[in-house]
C-alpha cells in the first residue's frame, strides 16, 4: 500500500504585483517587494528513521517463512 499526501501549493503571492513566487523566496523577483513569511510549513518527509519520518515502532514485524512439512 502506498500513501501519497494530497498536493499542496506552497507558492507565495506578491502583495504588491500579485506575481507567483517560490516558497523559499523572501523578495519578489518581479518588483522587489518583501514577501510575507510562508504560512504552511514545508514537510520534512524522509525515509523511516530519518527526522520527520513516521514512527514505525508499532508496525508489525516481517512475517516468518513457512516451515517445511513435517518439521516443528
The predicted-structure confidence for 19-58, as pLDDT tens digits, reads as follows 999 888 989 999 999 998 865 555 555 555 566 666 666 6
Sequential DSSP letters for 18-59: --EE-TT-SB-TTT-PBPPPPSSPPP---STTSTTPPP-TTS
d(CA 17, CA 49): 43
> Is 46 part of a structural domain of the chain?
no
d(CA 35, CA 58): 42
> Is 21 part of a structural domain of the chain?
yes
- What pLDDT, on the 0 to 100 scale, is given for residue 5? 66
> Is 17 part of a structural domain of the chain?
yes
Cell matching residue 20: 507567483
As for how many domains the chain has, the answer is 1
> Is 62 part of a structural domain of the chain?
no
> Is 23 part of a structural domain of the chain?
yes
> Is 2 part of a structural domain of the chain?
no
- Cβ pair 22, 30 in contact under 8 A: no
Q: pLDDT category, 66, cuts 50, 70, 90? A: confident
- What pLDDT, on the 0 to 100 scale, is given for residue 45? 53
> Could you list the residue range(s) of the whole structural domain that residue 31 is in?
12-36
**pLDDT over 60 (residue 7):** yes
**pLDDT over 70 (residue 72):** no
Amino acid at each position: 500500500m502506498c500513501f501519497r499526501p494530497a498536493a499542496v501549493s506552497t507558492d507565495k503571492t506578491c502583495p504588491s504585483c500579485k506575481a507567483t513566487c517560490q516558497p523559499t523566496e523572501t523578495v519578489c523577483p518581479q518588483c522587489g517587494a518583501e514577501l510575507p513569511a510562508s504560512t504552511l510549513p514545508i514537510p520534512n518527509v524522509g525515509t523511516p528513521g530519518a527526522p520527520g519520518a513516521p514512527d514505525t515502532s508499532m508496525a508489525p514485524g516481517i512475517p516468518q517463512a513457512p516451515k517445511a512439512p513435517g518439521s516443528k
